Amino acid sequence: MAEAQASPSRSRRRTSTVSAARRITSPARSRAPSTAANRFALGTDVAIIGKQAALLRYDGAASRWRALARPRGRETLIANRTYYVRTDGSDSNDGLSNTSGGAFLTVQKAINTVAALDISTCNVTIQVADGTYTGAITVNGAWLGSGTVTILGNTSTPANVIFNTTFADAVAVTNGGRITVSGMELRTTTAGSCLHAQTGGTISVGASVRFGVAANYHMYVEANGTIKIAASYTISGSAGVHWTALANGIIQAQGNTVTLSGAPAFSSGFAFAGRASLIECYGMTFSGSATGTRYISGENSLIFTNAGGASYLPGSVAGSTSNGGLYV
């Protein structure tokens, strides 16, 4: 059970130490004034487990409790959660409401916030409002917990949510991290790839993703990184390579449709696999055309189309294999 000790002050504020003996105590977050049914209206949820304590302050002017000191350790989610990102938000907000005064300004702030949680079996959505975002997004390691984390833009009109980075990957996942992206257009300028998974990182491509102009690659895997394409998507801009897999990287794309808009050009090929990597791309439908080499497979790598044929992948120049590379 929870116990509280309060100390009145002259400014209609008082502090309270809340501790828990055996049960979890979770004062609920709310931005509405405190009521009899909801006395703990905090900036964010506070979960207090056995032998923990939190220091709260009651703000009489705002009619709500505020957390001054939180329990040590990670917050463990007990329900799915959504963080909001908007172009008029602020990274000093808590990210928990879809207003300019509540949403984050950057997706990276949301990622860092989720990384500090134990997400347990819950799913976290980072809901991104329409607009253009120029900050790079990096997931540097695995989440604590088995739940999923999704960056979700506008699935009805993905071109309304644009990630456009300069000298950086738009989304990079490393060291066993994992993320799903959906409902957005990805671009890079000068240098950088739209999606980059390495050192065991995994990126899942969900519904309604558009790949715009990329300085390097649209999708890039290396060092045991994986990109899993789970839905149909659109290519609306050119790149050095659309799919690049190196150093045991894996790209998996099966049974979906890729729509090519405006005949994008791939200066180094549509699909490039090297250094014992795998591009698995069977059962795909490619709608539209592209210019450039269809595929290059070398150094004991495999591009597997399940006998799709030499002209299966988009391009205007025949593909090639070398040094033990296969295209089948």
Does residue 64 surpass a pLDDT of 70?
no
DSSP state of 160: G
HEC-encoded secondary structure of 211-243: ECCCCCEEEEEECCCEEEECCCEEECCCECEEE
Does residue 6 surpass a pLDDT of 90?
no
User: Buried b / exposed e across 255-286, counting CB within 10 Å, b at 16+?
Assistant: eeebebeeebebeebbbbbbbbbbbbbeebeb
Query: Is pLDDT larger for residue 18 or for residue 92?
Result: 92
The fraction of the chain above a pLDDT of 90, given in percent, is 77
| pLDDT tier, 46 (very low <50, low <70, confident <90, very high otherwise) | low
- Mean pLDDT for the stretch of residues 144-153: 98
Does residue 57 surpass a pLDDT of 50?
yes
- Mean pLDDT for the stretch of residues 264-268: 98
Q: Note the pLDDT of residue 50.
A: 53
pTM of the prediction? 0.82
User: Buried b / exposed e across 112-145, counting CB within 10 Å, b at 16+?
Assistant: ebbbebebeebbbbbbbbeeebeebbbbeeebeb
Q: Note the pLDDT of residue 4.
A: 46
Does residue 52 surpass a pLDDT of 80?
no
Q: Note the pLDDT of residue 214.
A: 98
Q: Note the pLDDT of residue 24.
A: 42
Q: Note the pLDDT of residue 29.
A: 47
- Mean pLDDT for the stretch of residues 254-258: 98
Q: In whole angstroms, what is the distance from residue 324 CA to residue 299 CA? A: 5
Q: Note the pLDDT of residue 9.
A: 45
Does residue 173 surpass a pLDDT of 80?
yes
101-138, pLDDT tens digit by residue? 999 999 999 999 999 999 999 999 999 999 999 999 99
- Mean pLDDT for the stretch of residues 258-283: 98
Mean model confidence pLDDT for the chain: 88
| pLDDT tier, 48 (very low <50, low <70, confident <90, very high otherwise) | low
**Sequence-distant (≥ 6) Cβ neighbours of residue 115 within 8 angstroms:** 139, 140, 141, 143
Does residue 40 surpass a pLDDT of 90?
no
Q: Note the pLDDT of residue 66.
A: 63
Pairing of strands 52-59, 13-20: antiparallel
Does residue 86 surpass a pLDDT of 70?
yes
